[in-house]
Amino acid sequence: MRGVLILVPLLLLLLAACQPKGPSPLGAEVAFDPNPPLLGPNRITIRVDTKKKLSELKVVGDMTHAGMVPVEAEARQVSPGLWETQDFKFTMRGDWVITLEAKDSSGKRYQQEVRITVP
């Protein structure tokens, strides 16, 4: 019985250690041009700490209600730590969740959400 009591906490510890880890926080500063954003093409500028050495950054926009197709755009690096999209197209007025999905040169993933309203 004593062996079982020792084994249970050990198994729980091992299971907790095996949980997949999600993306790390990106910690970016995000700006919209125009601000507030309008229907149609908008520029989104993303400033990220240069220590992260990102190799790619994708911007995904979802409406806060169901039924809308997400809007996606690849950001391009314009200078160290500065990324932007030229053609992020808001397709409807209302509340949006913008998700930044990034990856660095070692494959580590980062993510950040920004909420915005398109008037």
Comparison of pLDDT for 84 and 68, the residue scoring more: 84
- For the segment 45-60, what is each residue's pLDDT rounded down to a tens digit? 999 999 999 999 999 9
Spatial distance between the Cα atoms of 1 and 116, rounded to a whole number of angstroms: 57
**Mean pLDDT value of segment 83-101:** 96
Spatial distance between the Cα atoms of 61 and 59, rounded to a whole number of angstroms: 7
pTM for this predicted structure: 0.81
Walk me through the domains of the chain, giving residue ranges and CATH numbers: 23-118 (2.60.40.1220)
Point out the least confidently predicted range of 6-15, 18-27, 44-53.
6-15
Burial class (CB in 10 A: 0-12, 13-18, 19+), 108: middle
